[in-house]
Chain A
Amino acid sequence: MSDSPSILPLGLPEPVPQPDGLDAPYWEGVRRHELLVQRCNACRGWQWGPEWICHHCLSFDIGWDSVVGEARIFSWERVWHPVHPGLSGAVPYTVLLVEFPESGGIRMVGNLVGDPEQDVPIGATVLPAFEDHDGAEPPFTLVQWKLA
């Protein structure tokens, strides 16, 4: 099982890499606690969510790179009404949309670490917290966010 307690309970839908391989480098990266997103080898443009082509220059030569710079809270929501049986004892929980201004403005979704009822300041800097689910089959890692 996971060394660290997870924010949301176990038993929720578990992520697996897309069968066609599109987002496999992301899921492999977070297992190593590296946050990789797409970066075009032709124009160096950032891209997220993953796609087979660079929307900046239409090159198929897409690579992967670690995000750079700070992550900031772009938006948030606090869930009180659970829609999955596994979440019925786990509300409220807070979902963040986090932006990387220096990595092309790409955004990621995650949960806020700590008191789910704490104030959520839009624009505040957050740091990734890798949440390992080593006991899952296959194992996976989620990326949560804590206020810096």
Chain B
Amino acid sequence: MSRERSIRGKVALAGVGESAYYKRGGAPDAEFKLGLQAILAACDDAGIDPREIDGFASYSNDSNDPARFAAALGLPELRFANMVWGGGGGGGSGAIGNAAAAIAAGYADCVVVYRALAQGQNYRFGQGNFPSKVAGESAHWVPYGIMSPAQMFAMRTTRLMHEHGIDRSTLRAVSMASYHHAQNNPRAVMHGRPLDAASYDESRWIVEPFRLFDCCLENDGAAAVVLVPAERAHDLQQKPVYLLGTTQGSEYRAGAGVHNNPDYATSSFKTLAPRLYAMAGVQPSDVDVVQSYENFTGGVVMSLIEHGFCSYESANEALAFENLIAPDGGLPINTSGGNLAECYMHGLELIVEAVRQVRGSSPNPVTDAEVSLVSSGPMVSNATNLIVGAESTL
């Protein structure tokens, strides 16, 4: 990969913000208003006048139109509006990548990535949202009772456990790490709701091999990130955090229909992770803290392995609870509580947290964190990921 065609160091994540996070149905405000709150919070965090925004990027068919945001905010001009194609929450890091690319290419100067999602106001992801007649690819699995995301991804995790001997206790450790971190995060929906091993083990099955606590939440809220050219970061009010690399995509025939993707028990990061590290100029051992999108715990295990933090053989030991928590674990993950315990903001809250780790303002700070990795949307296509770093990493 040509270094001239890399995004490395060219763009800064200058501001991050969120609305209050709510349980599903708990938001007192409309989804669009939550989005406005997050955008203004991110601008305020950066020290940027919201009227400077000239572009938007989002993902997963966010229903809040960027032109409406531009009009509502009285923006003088909209220069860029972009949506990552497909993949649900897998598009989160990709939306950052697209916003950064727009800045690097000169399309726009101040691009906001947002995700607003009020599952209490719109349809719930966890429910079967299918009509009485189904046609096309889904006709080959919906009538057999595969209707929810958990049901779509459980068989991949069964296969992971079968092929590679991944223990149930490893899935449990991922869940417990998120809940542990949420206890220090007042924003977290599960703040004040700790999870111990016994409670996990006693929780009900959703779809084997997933218990209740293996599954992400359904929430109401919004999050936003403001991106500017790197050279502007010094003039703003936060410690600069730079995009070191980001990739999108998936492996050979990941999108083959009816569960026919040849490499089945994969998070779809096997081809992305090497490209990400090459672009960012770091290795897995250089990464200080990881935000790994939890739709379901099995996908987190796949993603951590495919990003080179452990092997299939070492996963059950390397992904023990004590190793996954800040500040003392060797591989701290999902340090705000993530999709399992902070808020299911479709993974944009993970990118907010990755930035806060580099600034030292995480609710669970990793000491001297300089290199911070996010993987968005395991087991989907597109999957996307990114690495951000401190000034010292440039």
Contact = CB atoms under 8 A, between A and B. Distances in A.
Given A49-B258, A107-B260, A13 B155 contact: no
B260 A77 contact: no
B136 A83 contact: no
B143 interface: yes
Interface in B262-282: 262, 264
Counting chain A CB atoms within 10 Å of each CB, the highest count among B144, B156, B256 belongs to B144
A50 B126 contact: no
Contacts of B155: 75-77, 95, 97
A12 interface: yes
A23 B134 CA distance: 13
A80 B207 contact: yes
Contacts of A146: none
Contacts of B162: 75, 122
A13 B146 contact: no
Given A76-B155, A81-B204, A49 B257 contact: yes
Contacts of A80: 204-208
Contact of A8 (B141, B145, B209): B145
Tell which of B142, B207, B256 has the most Cβ of chain A within 10 Å. B207
A76 B145 contact: no
Nearest to A50: B257
Interface string A80-95: 1101100100101101
A12 B264 CA distance: 27
A111 B144 contact: yes
Interface in A29-76: 48-51, 55, 74-76
Given A49-B257, A83-B126, A95-B151, A78 B143 contact: no
Contact of A75 (B150, B159, B256): B159
B214 to A, nearest CB: 12
Contacts of A97: 155, 159, 259, 264
A15 interface: yes
A15 B143 contact: yes
Interface string A90-114: 1011010100000001111111000
Contacts of B130: 13, 84
B170 to A, nearest CB: 18
Contacts of A107: 258-260
Nearest to B143: A15
| A12, A17, A83, A90 interface centre (most CB from chain B within 10 Å) | A83
A74 B147 contact: no
B174 to A, nearest CB: 18
A83 B134 contact: no
Interface of A: 8, 12-19, 23, 48-51, 55, 74-81, 83-84, 87, 90, 92-93, 95, 97, 105-111, 122, 140, 142
Interface of B: 126-128, 130-137, 139-148, 150-151, 154-156, 158-159, 162, 204-209, 253, 256-260, 262, 264
Given A49-B257, A95-B146, A142-B144, 18 more contacts: A12-B142, A12-B143, A13-B142, A23-B140, A49-B140, A55-B253, A74-B264, A77-B155, A77-B207, A79-B145, A80-B206, A80-B208, A84-B128, A84-B130, A93-B145, A108-B258, A122-B158, A140-B143
